[in-house]
């Protein structure tokens, strides 16, 4: 179950680079990832053989720089988002996202704790959001953006 509000913290550089939009690292790429024998994954961790959205969620939450996807990481905890926004004593921004608007906006939510046997950062309670077109999240789901 997803809480009413989700949060995303970004530093000021990322905010400026995206024009304030919530963009994934791999724009336009379907939210699926193949996993085959010999890859750097542990099959007991929740991965499934072949291509799936669950594999994409697992790899995204493990290391979204190494495994970029069309997902955008969020958390139900504003303080966790603040930590990401102000990492290394930087200024940043926190987006407040209304989860009640996700379905109407064509966004699919993946709860990491429902996919990963051992989430990479369990305290984040990460929820990965994916837009229907695998691009930026529609602005109508964001109810507030505050400077952190």
**pTM for this entry:** 0.93
φ and ψ at 126, to 5 degrees? Answer: -60, 140
- Residue range 35-86, pLDDT digits in tens: 766 666 555 566 777 899 998 998 899 889 888 999 999 999 999 999 999 9
State residue 35's pLDDT score: 77
**What sections of the chain are H helices per DSSP?**
12-17, 53-62, 78-85, 112-115
Q: Taking all residues of the chain, what is their mean pLDDT, rounded to a whole number?
A: 92
83 by DSSP, 3-state: which?
A: helix
- Residue range 45-58, pLDDT digits in tens: 667 778 999 989 98
Q: What is the DSSP letter of 75?
A: B
The Cα–Cα gap between 115 and 4 comes to 20
């Amino acid at each position: 179950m997803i809480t009413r509000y989700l949060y995303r913290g970004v530093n000021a550089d990322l905010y400026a680079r995206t024009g304030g939009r919530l963009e994934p690292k791999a724009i336009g790429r379907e939210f699926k990832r193949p996993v085959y024998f010999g890859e750097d994954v542990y099959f007991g961790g929740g991965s499934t053989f072949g291509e799936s959205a669950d594999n994409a969620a697992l790899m995204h939450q493990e290391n979204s720089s190494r495994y970029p996807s069309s997902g955008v990481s969020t958390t139900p905890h504003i303080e966790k988002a603040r930590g990401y926004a102000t990492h290394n004593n930087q200024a940043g921004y926190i987006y407040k996202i209304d989860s009640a608007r996700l379905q109407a906006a064509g966004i699919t939510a993946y709860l990491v704790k429902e996919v990963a046997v051992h989430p990479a950062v369990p305290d984040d309670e990460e929820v990965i959001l994916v837009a229907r077109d695998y691009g930026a999240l529609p602005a109508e789901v964001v109810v507030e953006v505050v400077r952190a």
